[in-house]
Structure 1
Amino acid sequence: MTAVWWAAPLPPEVAPGLVALLDGHERDRLDRFRRAADRARYLAAHALVRLVLADAVGTAAAALVFDRTCRCGAQHGKPVLPGGPGFSLTHAGDLVGVAVHPGGDVGLDVEQARELTDLPAMSAHVCSPRETAPDAQAFFTLWTRKEALLKAVGTGLATPMSAITLGPSGVLDWTGEDAPRDPLWLADLCPASGYHAAVAGTGERPAIVEERGDALLAGQAR
């Protein structure tokens, strides 16, 4: 089963207990954000993933040690919990999300619906040659699906979204040297009104549950 947790951002100044859960790398990243909204989203997402993973592996949230080894060898890549389940973080607007998938790699993305003044250009960036340019609402669905897939396979936006062709049942085609060979699954989510979200992973599609994580964060905030 894949669990997806949603929560509201929390400013560090009102949640010192959550700041205490973070490691040195995370606290350094938190301190470098200039905008209060970015700090609140970062803190809530990274504290929430620690709390959820701690429960999954039976250890203290602050004791979790992540491997962030990038392809270049530096510690700034996608975080992985050695020996633990796959997980993915995302945030947009007043929402942060965490997906945890014991069966392997997972990717989660959320976007807040908004007006797009450059929809044709954005569609050209997202759509493959076989896909029809979407309207504004369909655009966000397409974006979150492809972003979730890219997070799941670990390439992120280093791989162009236009390399992926989607159909009603999932991925129809994926071109390029880094195209994954493993089966992929994909599902749309409903986190809140005005938001689009999707979760994806490798292997067979699991059962997916969505939960609210605000109470978990509130219980550790002070």
Structure 2
Amino acid sequence: MTVVWWAAPVAPADAPGLVALLDGHERDRLHRFRRPADQARYLAAHALVRLVLADDAGRPADALVFDRTCRCGAQHGKPVLPGGPGFSLTHAGDLVGVAVHPGGDVGLDVEQVRELSDLPGMAAHVCSPRESAADAGAFFTLWTRKEALLKAVGTGLATPMSAITLGPAGVLDWTGEDAPREPLWLADLRPGPGYHAAVAGTGARPAVAEQRGDDLLAAQAR
């Protein structure tokens, strides 16, 4: 089963116990953020992923060691827990999310629905020639689904979203040299009013559950 955890951001000043869970790399990143809102989102997401992975790994949350090797060889790439399940982090507005997928790679995205000043221009970036987005709701549905897929396959926004065509059952077509050959699964989520979210991965579609992680964070905050 794939489990998606949602939680509210947590200010570092209010949660020294969560800051203590982070490793040196994460604390350095945390303190580089200038905006308090960015710090609160980063702390909640990275502390939550440690707490939910600790049970799977059979180790304390603060003892987990992530591999962040980028394609260039430096330690600033997507974090991976060696020997552990796949996971993905996301945040938007007053919400952070963590998806954990024992079966392999997974991608998670959440967006806060808002009015867009240039919806046609943004839609041209996101939609394939066979798709359309008439309003902000439709746009953010497409965006979160495609962002989740791109995170799952590891290319991120280096691959144009317009290369992907979606249908009611998932991916109808994916063009380009980097198009994945393996089966893909995709599921819409219900993170809360005013937000759209999706989770995706490779292989057969698993059962997907959503849970709140605020109590996990609160229990470790002090």
**Fold in common (TM above 0.5):** yes
Alpha-carbon offset, residue 167 of structure 1? 0.7
Correspondence for 1:169: 169
Matches of 1:219 and 1:179, distance apart in 2: 43
SS in structure 2 opposite 1:22?
coil
Correspondence for 2:3: 3
TM-score using structure 2 length:
0.99
Correspondence for 1:81: 81
Matches of 2:161 and 2:65, distance apart in 1: 31
Cα deviation 1:53-90 (Å, max 9, x = unaligned): 00112110011011111111111111110000000000
SS in structure 2 opposite 1:98?
strand
Cα deviation 1:156-204 (Å, max 9, x = unaligned): 1111111111011100111111111110000000011000000000000
Residue 142 (str. 1) matches residue 142 (str. 2)? yes
Matches of 2:70 and 2:90, distance apart in 1: 19
Structure 1 runs (4+) deviating above 2 angstroms are none
Note closer, same or farther for the CA distance 1:75–1:134 as it changes in structure 2 (3 Å cut).
farther
Correspondence for 1:12: 12
Identity over aligned pairs, percent: 86
Correspondence for 2:44: 44
SS in structure 1 opposite 2:196?
strand
SS in structure 1 opposite 2:76?
coil
SS in structure 1 opposite 2:10?
coil
Correspondence for 2:55: 55
SS in structure 1 opposite 2:75?
coil
Give the counterpart letter for 2:212 in structure 1. R
Alpha-carbon offset, residue 11 of structure 1? 0.4
SS in structure 1 opposite 2:147?
helix
Correspondence for 2:117: 117
Question: Where does structure 1 lack aligned partners over 5 or more consecutive residues?
Answer: none
Correspondence for 2:35: 35
SS in structure 1 opposite 2:87?
strand
Give the counterpart letter for 2:205 in structure 1. R
Matches of 2:213 and 2:133, distance apart in 1: 35
TM-score using structure 1 length:
0.99
Matches of 2:128 and 2:141, distance apart in 1: 15
Give the counterpart letter for 2:139 in structure 1. F
Matches of 1:193 and 1:183, distance apart in 2: 31
Matches of 1:104 and 1:84, distance apart in 2: 9
Correspondence for 1:210: 210
Alpha-carbon offset, residue 129 of structure 1? 1.5
Correspondence for 1:179: 179
SS in structure 1 opposite 2:51?
helix
Task: Give the count of matched residue pairs.
Answer: 222
Matches of 1:63 and 1:196, distance apart in 2: 33
Alpha-carbon offset, residue 133 of structure 1? 3.4
Q: CA RMSD in A?
A: 0.7
Question: Where does structure 2 lack aligned partners over 5 or more consecutive residues?
Answer: none
